Structure 1
């Protein structure tokens, strides 16, 4: 829930909320979130009648899947027929109740203060819902000092008023109001606004900041949806739906079917796809698990099957639009498809309750090409139909290592219009209105390896309207809520394209920084009781506001705090310099840890492709080992890089032994998770890192998974080693308070990238050019003195 002190008629600026949170699906949504987009050379799409399935109406409670599946001959998959194109809707379920306290920004209380205040709450409408009725129940209590005839609460949905409530309750009395929501007002992305007008006098309120002006919306207020579930169309023109629903009010749940044999190619494809899902998910919840048979899939999940018919024999038992014979996929002439052709299919379980995505082919190369089509955002956009044959695929080159979308441009000078908003759109001119307008805020995110010197400036270009009080109106610039400078607005006739140059402190520009421009506008004339007439007051920040930065790229590792931004694994952003390495025979917990790490990297990176590779310990090429950032996964006994536990700092040893420098202890049991980072010992340039996701037991790996999965835990990490333990034996994996984190910094830090001496000299010249003139003059004078001294000595001889 976000609170704004702004005029009720003007909602020009909303605070951005980029931090991920387990329940941050309930946030202010003013525009659609960009979906995954991938770049195809030639793709062939088969378009039979698009079948649909009916979603489950169960509210994500544990439900057993009917195991009485209709078995078929393993070599005769049942083809899709026209009568399979529509499945009857499931039986109507219970209404869905959306409580306000499910939003992390609401918490346990939600207050409105002052003469006028408002707050907003966002929610989505799932695609497969056909709404019948929607009701909003608002529970509230307010200050006994409010004057009933001049105080009210107004509820709005997407800008349309649902009704008003007089604030006339007695002290401590809880009020309840129910509003019928017009179905025509419900959109995919919706915003509920609750506005409070509060006065404590029958004539006028003298002090707008009187602490007695308050109303609280109770967190058990709710919105109730009565709906009928609708069939789901299986068509790639809606991808990532129905595999991932960006509008879902539930966490998206993905199950991967394990193949009969785990190899490096399968590990690479599944982790690349998980990274792509992480990018789509962004701040939304994504739950993942691995299953051994199709009968284990739940009706609330989406199933993904990756592999050839030989690797995934279950494919042959499903309804497919492409025939299979002798474990070979056939074309329209009943001949086997070429080995390098990728095949993508959307289908369902035999009960038509769960959507299934199949990425297959007649060889692992074909399977890899099918997945690569989905993870390359430009290619994926052209997909349609129920099945796709990917015959050729454009190779997407890796972006430069320091070209990170959503971060500052690499140029030393750039304009505000080159920055983007949370929807990846270029920033435009922004106008705010009113005497108490919210600040204009935009991201100013430095790259994780940016190091700033002195002389960083912002040249603010702004305009403002007439009717202001020149003595009390100003514009204020803040960096991460810390005021840098303010300037009075001196023209009573308004200002046009005025400028203000501000120096940015080099030690305060961070990868999470935001700049706020706050117009504090005061009217020249006031009404009685000091009530401000502010409809005519406005200020505009122009997108030709310019920046000049003096920076180099320098960072010291190991430092797990950098992992909060995906660094260094996200350099470049397609993850082409990163390799995940699992034990020779990985367990389910090993693979689940890899998937959680991949999902996290997906959330932290933005690129048009994914090039991460995954290996088992016995298949890791020596060249990859020497040239890539490495992510080792496994318990201490099976860890693929035991060298990390023989280096300096914290060590895990056999028989549940721990060692820190000369201290050595043995524990029983040791169920803690461990994350440790060191400089890769195999990289000669000392430019790559090795990170361990480990523990003495598989329970320890589960703790690592929980840290990677939960934002409140993940955004605490620091040092070079993190020890993760649970407070109680039976923990709620979604409760961040159920875990203890301990941080160690034992390894000696080194520069990740060391520049050659000539480059350092050139960098010094570039950053200190203003000293070049005086230095040349000084050098000339010194040389002149030496020459004169020499000439005098010659003349004396």
Structure 2
């Protein structure tokens, strides 16, 4: 083996030469492969560079083509500037509104008069602080001021009774009491001076030297007045408010310190009271600032969420067509979402000369549909009813065009939503109704070439309502103020306010027994365990609580509270209240309680037992937008007007769109509107419908043929087999029925015998005090006032009729739930059913007994 091993290792000349040849061949092969790889790499690089060059050339060609198609016009020397007039509008010019090539100098409107003079009082006024000069405006506001020419100064009076907190009285009780009022500063206002006129009465039992009224603005005191009036006489004092204190959002705080005993005043003494009268007011002296129009500021100035007055929108009406019916309701619905609780006054005008001071004009349609577009001062030129780019080439029909301008005097801003075709107009309007899209708009004009399509949310995805899951935590509920998730909340003191939680059930939720809430809370030491507690209330009803038993405080305690199913509604509110009392009693009304705290933790959990079940029709559910706002982008709702709609019909269309916008929250608006003849069959069958019009032109005459209350020819009306004729019949009617074409869809009828009656329907839909009274399935609306736009709470009378017998239940439940629901709805058949079942069982048992006896006999 050793020799074999050595032999195998011994050199062999022939073998060695073969190996050398093999090595040379292998080396040559490697060199060849390396050379081949190098050639391939070089070729690949050349090919790649050529492809990249071709791609870059192609992209450059596409960009050049894009630029060639969408060449922008020369940038104007000056942006259009909105110059709001402070008070009454200037007189209407008789000259036509024609397009100008150079900016014409605008004449300043005449000096405005005060909205109203300050109320006089026979009482001597208290000395007021010296008036201070207004602080210089911030750099941000100076950048917005495009013109050096100052506008006239105006005055504005804001009375306290406009706040729902004040109402008819504003009372302060106890030894120390304070109340707060919020107000805003409209955009474009430069405050020159501000005053607070406080009119008050107080108890004659107060000691003047120990009782006073203090006013603070944004935490800074602006003055005090002693409560020294005799026999509850009305006092009046005028406080100067430094203009530098006024911000966009402001808080006026009134503090009343009251004493009726030099040694000790009982906080519960009913003679410790002061009332601030509701005609107290804030007086502003301001100078409106000219604002350059730019889409980076949109929706201002067309909608100002800081305005103290109603935002006024005017639509220039073209010949009604599908383009306008698609774009205008969606735009109005988007305004409703932005407005939330703020009012909007909407009008329709037929000519540019009809525009009024204080309005904002919206022009929707192509130049062919809206000839007045050619009369406006716009960056794009128009020829042959076509909008041209910078090369005087017509823009494509599917490109949306948005432009801002003003009337010739600059006092009315104008928003133009247009394009050279219906697709372009719809795309331009859709850009404004999608929050994510309009965020990156800027400049005076915007071309909308493409727009991201927003997915439709699920039917039960309603922001602001309870989550779709049955188990969730408090942090998954959004706050009402800013829509952020709830976090741990701490309150302090013995008079700590309850912590509110919007507990809005989805409109089609039906709750059963077993729903519960696991409250997690903490509290501080030094409390009195005998009188301190935590309470849970649902719509003001106590549903659970526990004593705070530890004098040393506690951290993350748990309390399980049952949620009564019959109390949970779409507008419900939970409250967690900490009743904190100190260990040591107060002396002479002075209680040291600021060391007492209670904390509600965000991991408080909820476990709900619920199912989807709702009975329709029900106008009470319309208060929440159901079922028209399911899904929240309104994509399953269509509004239908007559083929030749009147201005009242179209205003009602815009009002309903605005209301649906206020009742929904989504990333887009896909609401559709049609005339009677253009309504597609698939939409009629698959959508919830809203019909608008007087009885003679109503799009769905079957509403007047079914059961319940009906309007007929010759001003006749029928109900419960009775029939009458009324002359005149100026009542409006809101009626909800199941759609004749689909029993799972709803048809809402907004109608009347006359246009006056339909206008009353529109006013009820637009104003919250009446809209949130709707119930049952039919409402008759009457009024004894000529001014149907009145805000008087007694302006309208609503008469609710009983539910019609033809109802439908929309549900998504199991078999057991359906059987349970059937038994609950038909309980009066239960005794007969039990008797029938007993009789059946008796018959079966007798049959078997007889059969057994026969078998035995055989």
TM-score (norm 1): 0.86
Residue among 375, 384, 404 paired with 2:462? 404
Q: Is the 8 A contact 1:398 1:572 kept in 2?
A: yes
Whole-Å separation in 1 of the counterparts to 2:274 and 2:568: 37
Residue among 279, 282, 294 paired with 1:220? 279
Structure 2 counterpart of 1:539: 598
Partner SS state of residue 781, structure 2: strand
Q: How far has the Cα of 1:45 moved from its partner?
A: 9.4
Q: How far has the Cα of 1:583 moved from its partner?
A: 0.6
Q: Does 1:628 align with 2:687?
A: yes
Q: How far has the Cα of 1:461 moved from its partner?
A: 0.7
Partner SS state of residue 331, structure 1: coil
Q: How far has the Cα of 1:729 moved from its partner?
A: 3.9
Whole-Å separation in 2 of the counterparts to 1:239 and 1:720: 39
Structure 2 counterpart of 1:682: 741
Q: Does 1:560 align with 2:619?
A: yes
Q: Is the 8 A contact 1:416 1:546 kept in 2?
A: yes
| 1:237-286 deviation digits (Å, cap 9, x = unpaired) | 11110101111111000000001x21122112100001001111111110
Partner SS state of residue 519, structure 1: strand
Structure 2 counterpart of 1:601: 660
Q: How far has the Cα of 1:86 moved from its partner?
A: 4.8
| Pair 1:657–1:307, CA change in 2 (3 A) | same
Q: How far has the Cα of 1:526 moved from its partner?
A: 2.9
Whole-Å separation in 2 of the counterparts to 1:471 and 1:273: 58
Structure 2 counterpart of 1:707: 764
Structure 1 counterpart of 2:782: 725
Structure 2 counterpart of 1:771: none
Structure 2 counterpart of 1:639: 698
Residue among 284, 291, 298 paired with 2:342? 284
Q: How does 1:181-580 map to 2 (within 5 A)?
A: 181-205=241-265, 207-259=266-318, 261-422=319-480, 423-529=482-588, 531-580=590-639
Deviation larger for 500-509 or 176-185: 176-185
| Pair 1:44–1:203, CA change in 2 (3 A) | farther
Structure 2 counterpart of 1:115: 175
Partner SS state of residue 280, structure 1: helix
Whole-Å separation in 1 of the counterparts to 2:242 and 2:106: 36
Residue among 622, 633, 645 paired with 1:586? 645
Partner SS state of residue 528, structure 1: coil
Q: Is the 8 A contact 2:611 2:812 kept in 1?
A: no
Partner SS state of residue 225, structure 2: strand
Partner SS state of residue 69, structure 1: coil
Structure 2 counterpart of 1:142: 202
Structure 2 counterpart of 1:780: none
Q: How far has the Cα of 1:592 moved from its partner?
A: 0.7
| Pair 1:736–1:696, CA change in 2 (3 A) | same
Partner SS state of residue 427, structure 1: coil
Whole-Å separation in 1 of the counterparts to 2:419 and 2:407: 20
Q: Is the 8 A contact 1:79 1:323 kept in 2?
A: no
- Larger proportion of helix: 2
Structure 2 counterpart of 1:740: 797
Structure 1 counterpart of 2:212: 152
CA RMSD of aligned residues (A): 2.3
Partner SS state of residue 224, structure 1: strand
| Pair 1:440–1:751, CA change in 2 (3 A) | same
Whole-Å separation in 2 of the counterparts to 1:631 and 1:489: 54
Q: How far has the Cα of 1:105 moved from its partner?
A: 2.6
| Pair 1:674–1:382, CA change in 2 (3 A) | same
| 1:440-488 deviation digits (Å, cap 9, x = unpaired) | 1121000111100111111111111111111111111111111112211
Q: How far has the Cα of 1:301 moved from its partner?
A: 0.3
Structure 2 counterpart of 1:783: none
Q: How many residues are matched?
A: 712
Q: Is the 8 A contact 2:151 2:289 kept in 1?
A: no
Q: Does 1:133 align with 2:193?
A: yes
- Of the two structures, which has the highest relative contact order with CA contacts closer than 8 Å and spacing of 6 or more? 1
Structure 1, unaligned runs of 5 or more: 1-42, 765-797
Q: How far has the Cα of 1:553 moved from its partner?
A: 1.0
Structure 2 counterpart of 1:793: none
| Pair 1:528–1:753, CA change in 2 (3 A) | closer
Structure 2 counterpart of 1:52: 81
Whole-Å separation in 2 of the counterparts to 1:587 and 1:659: 26
Residue among 81, 98, 123 paired with 1:71? 98
Whole-Å separation in 2 of the counterparts to 1:527 and 1:591: 64
Q: Is the 8 A contact 1:79 1:319 kept in 2?
A: no
Q: How far has the Cα of 1:694 moved from its partner?
A: 0.3
Whole-Å separation in 2 of the counterparts to 1:162 and 1:286: 34
| Pair 1:755–1:497, CA change in 2 (3 A) | closer
Whole-Å separation in 2 of the counterparts to 1:445 and 1:44: 51
Partner SS state of residue 327, structure 2: helix
Whole-Å separation in 2 of the counterparts to 1:705 and 1:83: 38
Q: How far has the Cα of 1:667 moved from its partner?
A: 1.0
Q: Does 1:613 align with 2:672?
A: yes
Whole-Å separation in 2 of the counterparts to 1:148 and 1:613: 65
Partner SS state of residue 531, structure 2: coil
Whole-Å separation in 1 of the counterparts to 2:671 and 2:811: 25
Structure 2, unaligned runs of 5 or more: 1-69, 108-144, 822-858
| 1:702-757 deviation digits (Å, cap 9, x = unpaired) | 01011011111111111111100112345553223111111112423544424486
Partner SS state of residue 799, structure 2: strand
Q: How far has the Cα of 1:234 moved from its partner?
A: 0.2
Partner SS state of residue 810, structure 2: coil
Whole-Å separation in 2 of the counterparts to 1:563 and 1:267: 23
| Pair 1:572–1:654, CA change in 2 (3 A) | same
| Pair 1:756–1:550, CA change in 2 (3 A) | closer
| 1:185-242 deviation digits (Å, cap 9, x = unpaired) | 111011101111212111221x312111110001111111111111022011111101
Partner SS state of residue 643, structure 1: helix
Whole-Å separation in 2 of the counterparts to 1:510 and 1:101: 31
Q: Is the 8 A contact 1:69 1:350 kept in 2?
A: no
Q: How far has the Cα of 1:87 moved from its partner?
A: 5.5
Whole-Å separation in 2 of the counterparts to 1:628 and 1:605: 17
Q: How far has the Cα of 1:63 moved from its partner?
A: 6.7
Q: How far has the Cα of 1:325 moved from its partner?
A: 1.6
Whole-Å separation in 2 of the counterparts to 1:94 and 1:266: 37
TM-score (norm 2): 0.80
Q: Is the 8 A contact 2:323 2:365 kept in 1?
A: no
Partner SS state of residue 665, structure 2: coil
Partner SS state of residue 476, structure 1: strand
Structure 2 counterpart of 1:40: none
Kindly name which structure, 1 or 2, has the bigger radius of gyration based on alpha carbons: 2
